[in-house]
Amino acid sequence: MKKINYILIFISISIFHYQRLSAQNLINNLDSKKSLIDSIIENKMKQSGIVGIGAAIIIDKKLVWEKGYGYSDKEKGIAFTPSTVMNIASISKTFTGFCMMKAVEEEKVSLDEDINNYLPFKVVNPNFPDEKITLRRLATHTSGLTDRYPFYTDSTYIYDGQKAEDLGIFLKNYYVKGGKYYSKDNFLNAKPGKIRDYSNIATGLTGYIVELRTGKKLNAYGKQFIFNSLKMKNSGWFLSEIDMVKHSKLYAKKEGKIEQIPLYEGITYPDGGVRTSVDELSRFFITLLNDGEYNGKRLLKKELAQEMLRFQYTEKNKPDSLDIKKMNSGIFWSTKLGGTRIGHNGSDPGVRTFMLSDLEREIGVVVFFNTSLDEKDENVFFGIYEALYRYGQKIKQGQ
């Protein structure tokens, strides 16, 4: 038996290396004469002013291509590479969702329990005080809790090393009557499940519940079950955890001019605080696409990983006025681009990120931009993403 096992292992390793070499040879051939993808990206960067881009392509749950363009620090001429670290904005929600599902696996929480059974204060929608709010509702943005603007953008970003308000104290002040941030406008006039309303602060509440129930801060819990398992050594939730030499500067286009902007953190960090690289995020994306497993190592029970990606809305159980063929939701995970992709995007000052796959999970694209553009230029980001996806199709066809 041992001899047979050794032969099987040798054959498996040989096939794996052959596949890797074949994919790499294809990529080299595609890139040999400055490929079309390089020309497209570089031209769009020149036209729009985007300073730096990192991108990766995943085919059949394997990383087959990655590349950087432009600069992580334009002033110092430091190149943006697949190993460059930056905050990934709302893609962070998928990490919060994974941590929540890990807490479910550990039987610390239940997706359908009233969240008030976990909290040291009561969160009650004043419009529907008898309706319970659950983690599933929070994770599918159907809880009836909402972000109040401009309060969210004006009050939850922390610049210049300022000390952030404690997450639990902030949430109590926001959701509990009498709190200094409390308002009826923090709640929808709708029962849980009736309206999908994307909420960052509700994601912060989810992360806080995970912290309470596991007894660990989200950054420590995520490091234990995600970062360490995937050897994401350059990833973390806070600037204090990051080697700043590897961290990109951030830029924003204002009145047609590109300006560097200061780095920042968020009080509601579960909604957008993760900092990582294209290279390391690709490992996490592969884990999600592969039902919680990476390179033979299981990070999350298969049935829970599948539940995380399962479409939660059905014709009988969906928010009002929602066409589920165009928009559906997993656990902090959703369809994009008219229902043709699954994953998550991210947008924050100086940050635009994509982590999307086709519905069959055959072609995945991760792409980071370290530059904010005007709203009218949003099509540039989607154009580059789509060019990368088409490039992924070429790689897959070549295989």
pLDDT band at 356 (very low <50, low <70, confident <90, very high): very high
pLDDT band at 20 (very low <50, low <70, confident <90, very high): very low
Residues 39 and 391: their CA atoms lie apart, in Å, by 12
State mean pLDDT over 262-266. 97
Q: Is 376 within 8 Å of 365 (Cβ atoms)?
A: no
Instruction: Report pLDDT for 26.
Output: 45
Instruction: Report pLDDT for 24.
Output: 46
State mean pLDDT over 341-370. 98
Residues 212-260 have pLDDT tens digits of: 999 999 999 999 999 999 999 999 999 999 999 999 999 999 988 999 9
Residues 67 and 211: their CA atoms lie apart, in Å, by 36
Residues 311 and 313: their CA atoms lie apart, in Å, by 6
Residue 16 has pLDDT above 60, yes or no: no
pLDDT band at 23 (very low <50, low <70, confident <90, very high): very low
User: Looking at per-residue confidence, does 119 or 4 come out higher?
Assistant: 119
pLDDT band at 4 (very low <50, low <70, confident <90, very high): very low
Please tell me what DSSP assigns to residue 145: B
State mean pLDDT over 350-368. 98
Residue 11 has pLDDT above 70, yes or no: no
State mean pLDDT over 100-107. 98
Residue 10 has pLDDT above 90, yes or no: no
Instruction: Report pLDDT for 255.
Output: 86
How open is the CA angle 295-298-302, to the nearest 5 degrees?
120
pLDDT band at 294 (very low <50, low <70, confident <90, very high): very high
The average confidence (pLDDT) of the chain is: 92
Residue 397 has pLDDT above 80, yes or no: yes
pTM of the predicted model, to two decimals?
0.91
Residue 6 has pLDDT above 90, yes or no: no
Percent of the chain scoring above 70 in pLDDT:
91
Residues 6+ apart with CB under 8 A from 315: 324
SS (H, E, C) 332-356: CCEEECCCCEEEEEEEECCEEEEEE
Residues 29-87 have pLDDT tens digits of: 544 445 899 999 999 999 999 999 999 999 999 999 999 999 999 999 999 999 999 99
Instruction: Report pLDDT for 376.
Output: 87
Neighbours of 10 (CB within 10 A): 10
Instruction: Report pLDDT for 162.
Output: 86
